Amino acid sequence: MGNLVTWAVGKFFKYNFYGYLKMNKFLVRVLLVSGLIFSSGVMADLTPLRHFAEFSTWSQMRISPSGDYIAGVVDKNSGLGGSSLMVMDAKTLENLHEIKMTGSAYIGSFVWANDERLIAWEAVKSGIQEIPFSTGNIIAVNIDGTKKRWIYGSGKQSKSHLSRHSKRAGAYLEHTLPDDKKNVLMSVYTYGSEDGAYTRLVKLNTYTGREKNLARSPIKRASLTLDGDGELRFAHGVDLDDGEKFKVFVREGKDWRLIKQAKRNGGSFVPVGFSADNKIAYILDNIETDTQALYSYEMSSGDTQLMYSHPFVDVDQVTFSGEEQSSDSGDIAGVWVQPDYPMYVPLSENLDYNKVLVGLQRKFPQYSVDIISKSSKGEDGSQLAIVGVTSDKLPGMYLLYDFATSKLTKIRQAHSLIDSSKLSSTVPYKLTMRDGKAVYAYLTLPEDAEGPVPLIMHPHGGPYGPRDSWGYNPEVQMLASRGYGVLQVNFRGSGGYGKDFMYSAYKQWAFEMQDDLTDSVRWAIDSGITEEGRVCIYGASYGGYSALMSAVKEPDLYACTAGYVGVYDLQMMSQKGDIQRRDEGLDYISEAICSTEAECKRGSPLTYIDDLKADVMIIHGAIDQRVPVAHAEALRNALDERDIPYEWLVKRKEGHGFVNVDNREELYGRLLAFFKRNIGS
């Protein structure tokens, strides 16, 4: 199941911010004085709940190939569903042109096609729901808003709003072809079409929308990898027609050759880029190892060589030093891992790129710092970059960096109404469970807290694959600002810690995964962070499941439980919702959650409702497709039958997580009142 927070912040507005260490008050004051971080002397002592409920105003900031312009997605309403594309002058940082989609649609994401033209993906909100979704339709437009036209998707054939969304296509940029100012290379496939399920590589004219088919993948829904010259070299993915084996193919002329495969859940072999001469591919591979590691792959011989691995976490991202913007070719600069704080590991000390990035990280030593977009090098060697800075207290800040002068200039702050000086530090911990297994957790305490504080255990969604990470989390900071400690645990099944950590937790929803939460709370009590009788549990999606399951499994540990779009009946999950609508979804439920009626009943919180002692709050979206509202209704009915009181908050137009800012603000207010009534503040 999707992680609510990850979706809400990142579905269409994802940042590529990475870094390490935690913030301290001294550095905050230094940056406030320097003017790099927003602060307002007229704000109340407490950040208003609405600011936590709002989404970032600015996201996805990228510089043009020449470095003359900057573009970013802006949402003036601080919500999801209404964003436009703003083009700025890179010298003056003044807004030049605002580009919008037609009708009620808005900009979901974008890329630079060339120095005068942008490609943007359409997203919409339908009339019956608040949650936005991507249509797959794509426009291309000049930076001044002229020559806007549909270039891909059903919008290309029809001006009708309804028919434009009737056939969804997926198209993803693979190469900008810098020497061809009209065309780009894209990988595409059509949803719901048997033949369209095979990924195609097309050359697409960004001015006319004309496309030319160049190749087709050997298996359905494969990902394609091109080298630095735009030549198709790899296809990889799960073969839905062969037991969901992971397969990798190399392109030889017009044919494909299978070079690697792994059984279902046996790992992956993912090409992520090429050397400058295209003779070596760089691979993230965990087929032979537990954690995902970086390898070099010799294209002529197929020989592989380990370049970097971490002992207990996966490599998250690979960074290249190529001269072109958003380059995935050239010298390998380094990798990002997240054992606790996000950490950049340079793989070559001599690269100028690493000297710059490491220097920037030293300039902001307690923040997360990364180069997220760069221009091409000019004939005089000049080059500009956009630097992203974030932390546990800072939602995001964009800076312009000049490689020639090392000058940094603030562009925009992602969420200017969040005052970092009023927020709390998030600190990682390594905890030992009852069976000796190590799990990693994050603890956020109210600023200047003394002695035990009321604690909220806050399990993440998923559960398999997502994880909690160090960084700004609006719900965590909202709770901490009102006097609550927040404990986030990457329990067994969480992603990022290797295959065994995730897959060994299959069919452990109600067992080891809950034990990890229980042991973590008991650690917090034994450590004096909190005390018995002052702990509640609150989570969304799978986290909502855990909130109720932990409360019935450990009835004396939690004073209250709040489930947000939670699963409460595993048998119902196998019959209702969007997961079981696909064959692979049913296979997933049977393999990872429960395969028989008895197993589903044994793992369902509703089975043990008579053991419940905690106060209950039920939160749901009435049109949730992932976890239908029937789960909330089933829990409500069980409580009504037993005359157990509860809080009820269901919103008519919301889905799997609230995105309407008014609804989110109401949710936070209701949650705080619920927690205060049960464990104080």
pLDDT tens digits, 420-473: 999 999 999 999 999 999 999 999 999 988 889 999 999 999 999 999 999 999
Q: How confident is the model at residue 349 (pLDDT cuts 50, 70, 90)?
A: confident
Cis bond before residue 452 (omega within 30° of 0): no
Are the beta carbons of 102 and 122 closer than 8 angstroms?
no
Give the number of other Cβ atoms within 10 Å of residue 432's Cβ.
11
Q: What is the DSSP string of 282-343?
A: EEEE-SSSSS-EEEEEETTT--EEEEE--SSS---EEEE--SSTT--BSSEEEEEE-SSS-E
Q: How far, rounded to the nearest angstrom, does the alpha carbon of residue 663 sit from its chain's CA centroid?
A: 22
What is the predicted pLDDT for the residue at 323?
57
Are the beta carbons of 460 and 3 closer than 8 angstroms?
yes
What is the predicted pLDDT for the residue at 147?
95
Q: Looking at residues 316-324, what average pLDDT do you find?
A: 82
- Express each pLDDT in 588-635 by its tens digit: 899 999 999 999 999 999 999 999 999 999 999 999 989 999 999 999
Residue listed under structure tokens 């932390």: 391
Are the beta carbons of 469 and 549 closer than 8 angstroms?
no
Q: Looking at residues 639-656, what average pLDDT do you find?
A: 96
Q: What is the DSSP string of 252-283?
A: ETTEEEEEEEE-TTS--EEEEEE-TTSSEEEE
Model confidence at 377: pLDDT above 50: yes
What is the predicted pLDDT for the residue at 4?
32
Q: What is the mean pLDDT of the chain?
A: 88
What is the predicted pLDDT for the residue at 3?
38
Q: Looking at residues 519-535, what average pLDDT do you find?
A: 98
Distance spanning both ends of the chain, measured CA to CA: 32
Could you tell me which residues come within 8 angstroms of residue 368 by beta carbon, excluding any fewer than 6 positions away? 17, 18, 19, 20, 341, 342, 388, 389, 390, 391, 470, 471
What is the predicted pLDDT for the residue at 27?
32
Task: Return the minimum-mean-pLDDT range out of 33-37, 409-413, 422-426, 463-467.
Answer: 33-37
What is the predicted pLDDT for the residue at 365?
87
| The pair of three-digit structure tokens given for residue 109, joined into one six-digit string | 């994401």
pTM of the model: 0.89
Model confidence at 127: pLDDT above 70: no
Q: Looking at residues 141-160, what average pLDDT do you find?
A: 80
Domains of the chain: 426-679 (3.40.50.1820)
Could you tell me which residues come within 8 angstroms of residue 18 by beta carbon, excluding any fewer than 6 positions away? 316, 317, 336, 342, 344, 368, 369, 370
Q: How confident is the model at residue 42 (pLDDT cuts 50, 70, 90)?
A: very low
